[in-house]
Amino acid sequence: MAEGAWTTRPTTTRTPATAAELRTEVLIIGGGVGGVAAALSCLRLGVACIITEPTDVLGGQLTSQAVPPDENQWVETFGATASYQSLRERVRAAVLRDGASRREVEPFGSFNPGGGWVSRCCAEPVRWHRELMAMLQEATAGKPSLLTVLHRHELLGIHREKDTVGPARFRDMETGEERTIHAAFYLDATEMGDVLALGHIEHHIGAEHQSVYGELHGRTDFDASQSTHDQLDQQACSWCFAMEHRPGENHVIGKPAGYDFWRSYVPAMEPRWSGNLFSWTVPSHNEEGKRYFDLVPWPDEPRNGAWEMWRYRRIVDRSIWPGALAASHPDVCLVNMVQMDYWQHPLLGVTAHQQAMALAGAQEQSRCWLYWMQTEAPRHDGNTAGYPGLKLRGDELGTADGFAKACYIREPRRLVARTIMTEEHLGTQQRKAAGLDTLEMNWDATPYGTAERFTDSVGIGHYAIDLHPSSAGRNNVYVPAAPYRIAMGSLIPVRCRNLLAAGKCLGVSHIVNGTTRMHHSEWNIGESAGALAAYCVNNGTEPHAVHVEPERIEAVQVMLAGLGVRLAWPWER
C-alpha cells in the first residue's frame, strides 16, 4: 500500500478556509475517533461543522496513533453503534476489493483482514483513514458546504465569558498563521482534553482518592485531606510502530542513546514488576503474577492455542493475499506492548516543554524496545538472541520511518460533568459486593453483571477496566466491568453551557477511563455529542436545558436511535 495514499477530502466551507476568521454552527476541536463520529452526526442532521486536527490525518487511535481497535465481544452484533459497525464492514470490503481472499473468524463468521487477535477487525491505519474520509464525503453529498476539515491546526486558546466559551484561536502549523473560529457550540474531541485546560473548564487530572467516589479500586495510599487527586497518576502513553520480518537480512537500527538505561531498567512499582521491563515476561493477573509472552515472527507459526506478540496486533496477514499480491503485502505486526509504555514523566498538568520532552521520551523508549528485539531478545527457536530481520514498516502507517504519526494517549483531562460515571456505576466486583440492582443482575446474559441504567442514556459500551502503569508508580489495574450505558450528563459540563465532551475527556473517574477510552466507546461518545449539539442548533436550545427536561432527553434519544445509536443492552429491556 503506497505511503502517499492518504485521502484528505472534503475541505469545502461556506467561508474560505484561508480566512483569518471562520464561523460555523459546531466547532469540533480534535479529529480523532470521537471527532469524526461527531461530524458525521452533525452532517446527517444538516448542521454545519468544522473539524480542526493537529496532525495531517483524521481518525486518532485508528490512524495517526496506529492502534488496532480493542473491542467488546458483542461488537459484531449489538455492542456498538450502527455507524461504527458500518466503518468496520467498509474496511473489510475494501480489503476484499483489493484482491484478498476471505478467511472467516468464528463465532460470527467475520472477516479479520489483519488476523490480529486483539480485534476481529485489524487493518492498516491508512485503510481506516480512507474509509473514514469516504464516510464524511458521502455524508456531505449534495451539501459540501456543511463541512470544513482543517488539518495541522494547533489550538492556542479559547475565550471564556462567564458560562460560555468561544471563539477559539488556532495556529496553522504549516504557515504559522493564526485563525479565529466562532461557533454556537464547541466540542472537545482532543486527545488530552485541551479545550478543558485552555478554556478553564472544570476538570480533573490523575486518580481520585477512594473517599471521593467510594470506588472499590480507588487509591487509599495518599492523604485526601491534602489533595483529593494524585495528579501524577496518569496512565502511560505509548508510541506505536509497525514492522515486518525478513529472515536472513539485517535491519538493525542504530543503537538509541538511551538504550543502556532501558535494557537494564526494572520498574519500581507496586504490585511488584516481574523483572526487567525489557523481557518477554510481563506482569499478569494470574496466580503467579506474571506470564511469558514472546514473539514468533512470520514465517514461523506459534503452537496451537499459544498467545504471542506478533499476531496479537497484526495488521497485515500475508496469507490472505494470493499470488503476486503477497509480495506487496508482507506480514506486518503493529507494536503496542507494555514494554514500551512510557510513564517516566506525565503529559498533563505540565508545561508545553515538559510535555514535549515526555512525548520524545516515549518515542525513544519505543526505539529502544525495537533495538532490544532486534539484538538481544531471546528467540522462540533457541537460536542466537535477537531478530535482526525485524524491519520498520511505514507504508501501512503513512509514515517514512515506520513509527506512528502521533503518540497513543490513553488518558486525557476529564470533565467535571453533570454526571460523573464511576466504578459504582459499572464495576462488576463493586456492584456485586454492594448488592446493587440485585433483581436486575442477569448473570446468564453476561458474566459481568449489569451497570447503572442511566435514564438519559446516549449510548452503550463495554470493555474491562484496563489501567496501564502510571506516572505515579502504580502498576496496572485490570478488573471486569459490566456492559454500561453512557449518560448524557457525562458529556455536559457542570457550568459551561455551549461545550460538550466528544471523546475520552467525558465525565468519568480515573478508573472508569480505563474502559471508556476504547475505540468503539469513543466513537459512540463523539457521535452522541455531535447529535446533541445538532439538536440544540436545530431547536434553538442548549445542552443544560435539554438535560433538565425529560421530554427533551427523550427527543434526543429518539433522534439517536434513528441514527443507529443503541441506548441499552438487549437484556436490559
pLDDT band at 438 (very low <50, low <70, confident <90, very high): low
**pLDDT for position 444:** 58
Q: How many angstroms separate the Cα of 548 from the Cα of each of 488, 494, 541? A: 11, 12, 12
**pLDDT for position 8:** 41
Domains defined for the chain, CATH in brackets: 7-74+128-202+228-234+413-573 (3.50.50.60), 241-397 (no CATH)
Q: Which amino acid is at 26?
A: V
Q: Is 435 left (phi over 0), alpha (psi -120 to 50) or beta?
A: left
**pLDDT for position 271:** 81
Contact 534, 26 (CB under 8 A): yes
Q: What is the mean pLDDT of residues 403-414?
A: 98
Assigned C-alpha cell, 383: 537460536
The 10s digit of each residue's pLDDT in 40-75 is: 999 999 999 999 999 999 999 999 999 999 899 999
Start-to-end CA span in the chain (Å): 45
pLDDT band at 107 (very low <50, low <70, confident <90, very high): low
Bond before 107 cis per omega within 30 degrees = yes
SS3 257: coil
Q: Which amino acid is at 74?
A: W
Report how far residue 87's alpha carbon sits from residue 81's, in angstroms, rounded to the nearest whole number.
Answer: 10
Model pTM?
Answer: 0.95
pLDDT band at 498 (very low <50, low <70, confident <90, very high): very high
**pLDDT for position 288:** 77
Q: What is the mean pLDDT of residues 509-518?
A: 98
What is the DSSP pairing of strand 281-283 with strand 203-204? unpaired
Contact 26, 37 (CB under 8 A): no
**pLDDT for position 1:** 39
> Residue 285 above 80 pLDDT?
no
**pLDDT for position 17:** 54
The 10s digit of each residue's pLDDT in 141-161 is: 999 999 999 999 999 999 999
